[in-house]
Structure 1
Amino acid sequence: MSESQAPGREVWIEKYRPQSLDEVLGHEQITSRIESYIEKNDLPHLLFAGPPGVGKTATSVSIAKEIYGDEWRENFLELNASDERGIDVVRDRIKSFARSSFGGYNYRIIFLDEADALTSDAQSALRRTMEQFSHNTRFILSCNYSSKIIDPIQSRCTVFRFSPLSDEAVAEQIDRIATNEGIDIVEDGMDALVYSAAGDMRKAINDLQAAGTLDGTVDEETVYAVTSTARPEEIKKMVQLALDGDFTAARSILDTLLTEEGIAGGDIIDQLHRSVWEYDLSDREAVYVMDRIGETDYRLTVGANEQVQLEALLAGLALEE
């Protein structure tokens, strides 16, 4: 094991966090527009919407670092709304920061992560606060679902929608980190890391660090072992057996995935959803599978037993005529 991989070293998602907008991969159109705001000293309130791990927080911190340089921590307040949901957070912490004196800059930045977790009352209070302190404070709101942000806030922000990162962007970053850390990744290992990440850069880097701590080369087998991800061919075989009417064989594969490999039911649903159109299915079969996946995903979301529901999904596929 190399020195860079020794226990106690920095977590790689922090070690390789972008330090400037130029280092944010996969969202060049977004970062270029933000750069123009910074150059003109005309940053509006911003709303970043998109799935986890695609660069929303990294972009927010990079904005602060580009505007304030070494003083960014004094001029940048980060709050996580999922931990601090109530109206008191908006009234107290945000207002306190916005009112405090500072010099040398036209405004300070308040970054509110997971803003879609704020209660309706808190969002209403936030809207009024954005109006009250618009002369010296800029807000950056981050959320997974912009539909959960009230319209009055959305209308006060420039909205940027972050899509899942491309396979090429994820592979580029993985390759760079692996080179810096002296890790040897074979081609099927790279493909497995990209597949398991599903556009989430944070997950890709964490998976690489987990696989890289093991002795030897990072290959497909190592990646699937440390990420608890089912091989795409196993998922495909399970679905095809069910569609062919062999429920018993399909159920056996499902049982192996759930009990022996310890893969969560929700993760299996996610892999099924991502891969349906890659299978050799007719349009009618693909539509039917998607319908069954949606029903099962809903039931798992409301707390149903995952093994029962997944077996019911396979049974439904097996009965499909």
Structure 2
Amino acid sequence: MSEGDEQTAATATGREIWIEKYRPQTLDDIHGQSEIVERLQSYIAQDDVPHLLFSGPAGIGKTTAATAIAREIYGEDNWRGNFLELNASDQRGIDVVRDRIKGFARSSFGGDFRIVFLDEADSLTDDAQSALRRTMEQFSDNTRFILSCNYSSKIIDPIQSRCAVFRFSPLSDEAVGGMVREIAAAEDIEVTDEGIDALVYAADGDMRRAINSLQAAATTGDVVDEEAVYAITATARPEEIESMVTDALNGDFARARSTLDTLLTETGMAGGDVIDQLHRSVWEFELSEREAVRLMERIGEADYRIAEGANEQVQLESLLAALSLDE
């Protein structure tokens, strides 16, 4: 079966992945990163693209921006031959830097330069980063490097100083909601306003998560509503989190613990997810400043202990108990 036939079959059976189907093809199509897009377009227009370092959380457009740059420089027909993508989390050793990248950088394929895109570059070992630094110097005449990472602090300073650094921020609710509405319209899916709000809340600035959640929720029924979204994403409703915290602060530990048990066992949330939602929601609760500070302190302590391997349910119950006992 040819590639085209496979794509047609995938579409017909509903197996096409929407995050790839609706991945922006040009910089203009990228949602929510207008300032970064403007600067990147300026580099391309002036034919003066430096080494680039993209940092920020997952699902906000770093990989999409890298491929869009290649498409705009080389054109739709030629960009793949001039673009080498490596995932550093899978290929972390110094040999990858020395062999694959050097081999690609040495070869010529027309044009002024080729692009090496190194995803999750913060997973590279220090030795591999040192080798990469030297490679960036050696082939700077005919190769541009685009590095993507979650934490720029894990990239050694000699590499950072050789790159134009772009810090991608989590996408705004408006950007995520707008993209979700566009996809829903294109796929002829009925989505309620409450469903859109739930998708935006569950995504927390991650476009990829929002699109995946929409596709998953669309398979559960004719209408994507709030209930379908929270069920498919294993996300607690904001009011459930607020109710649990309020009960604990009011001294009703048993009721707060019951809500927590429901979230962990029936909703299927992980302890870390509960912590994340608590942290996101602290300042949205109608709490006094003193209560908010108490809650933040307890969240930080529970988060650290869970990260160190402690039992999630025990730590979360301990958090609620401490809130119930504090005066």
TM-score by length of 1: 0.97
The answer as to 2:84 corresponding to 1:77 is: yes
Report the counterpart of residue 212 of structure 1 in structure 2: 218
Using the alignment, how far apart are the partners of 2:201 and 2:16 within structure 1?
25
Does the Cα contact within 8 Å between 1:4 and 1:181 map onto a contact in 2? no
**Equivalent of residue 188 in structure 1, options 191, 194, 202:** 194
Partner Cα distance (1:163, 1:207) in 2:
21
Taking the aligned partners of 2:206 and 2:13, their CA distance within structure 1 comes to 25
Asked if residue 30 in structure 1 is aligned to residue 41 in structure 2, the reply is no
Q: Which runs of 5+ in 1 are unaligned?
A: none
Instruction: From 138, 160, 163, give the equivalent of 1:157.
Output: 163
Instruction: Please name the residue that 1:236 is paired with.
Output: 242
Equivalent of residue 272 in structure 2, options 266, 278, 303: 266
* 2:94 is the counterpart of 1:87: yes
Matched, 1:107 2:139: no
The runs of 5 or more residues in structure 2 that have no matched partner are 1-8
Are the aligned partners of 1:238 and 1:250 in contact in 2 as well (CA < 8 Å)?
A: yes
1:46 partnered with 2:52: yes
- By how many angstroms is 1:101 displaced? 2.1
RMSD: 1.2
| Shift in Å, 1:211 | 0.6
1:288 to 294, 301, 320: 294
Question: For this pair of structures, how many residues does the alignment match?
Answer: 318
Residue matched to 1:300: 306
Q: TM-score, normalised by structure 2?
A: 0.95
Partner of residue 105 from structure 2, selected from 77, 98, 101: 98
Task: Provide, for residues 107-145 of structure 1, a one-character-per-residue CA deviation record: whole Å limited to 9, x for no partner.
Answer: 000000000111111111111110011000000000011
Superposed structure 1 runs of 4+ greater than 6 Å apart: none
- After TM superposition, give the deviation of residue 314 of structure 1 in Å: 0.8
- Asked if the contact 2:113–2:142 (Cα under 8 Å) also holds between the matched residues in 1, the reply is yes
Farther off after superposition, 294-303 or 18-27: 294-303
Q: Distance in 1 between matches of 2:223 and 2:107?
A: 53
Q: Sort the Cα spacing of 1:4 and 1:234 in 2 relative to 1 into closer, same or farther, 3 A.
A: farther
Match of 1:178 in 2: 184
Separation (CA, whole Å) in 2 of partners of 1:301 and 1:82: 21
Q: Percent identity?
A: 71
Distance 2:189 2:309 in 1: 40
